[in-house]
Amino acid sequence: MTGWLVAAAAVLVLVLAVGIVASRGPLMRRVIALEVGGVLVTLALVLLAEGFDRDVYFDLAVVLGAMTFAASLVFVRFLERWL
C-alpha cells in the first residue's frame, strides 16, 4: 500500500464524517458540508489515480472539480432566492 493510497483512505474516512454532517442538522450547515465533501472526493480521486497509476481517474477528478463547483453554486442560488 503506497503513501498515495493511505492518503486516499484517510480522505475517504473524512468524506464519511462530512457525509454524516451533511445528512443532519440545519440546512446551511448541510450545504457547507456538501461543498467540503465535493472537494474531498475530488482530492481522493487524484490520490487514487496516482496510487493505482490510472490516467483516467485524473480526467474524472478534473470533471468532478468543475461540476462540484457548478452544482454547489446552482444549489446555493436556489437557497438564496427560491427555497
Among 1, 23, 24, 39, binds another protein (CB under 8 A): 39
Binding mask 3-32 for another protein (x = CB under 8 A): xx--x--xx--x--xx--x----x-xx-xx
C-alpha 41/C-alpha 65 separation (Å) is: 9
Cα–Cα nearest to 3, from 39, 36, 50: 50
Number of H helices, E strands in the chain: 3, 0
C-alpha 14/C-alpha 20 separation (Å) is: 10
- Residues at the site binding another protein, with contacts judged by CB under 8 A: 3-4, 7, 10-11, 14, 17-18, 21, 26, 28-29, 31-33, 35-36, 39-40, 42-43, 46-47, 49-50, 55, 58-59, 61-62, 65-66, 69, 72-73, 76-77, 79-80
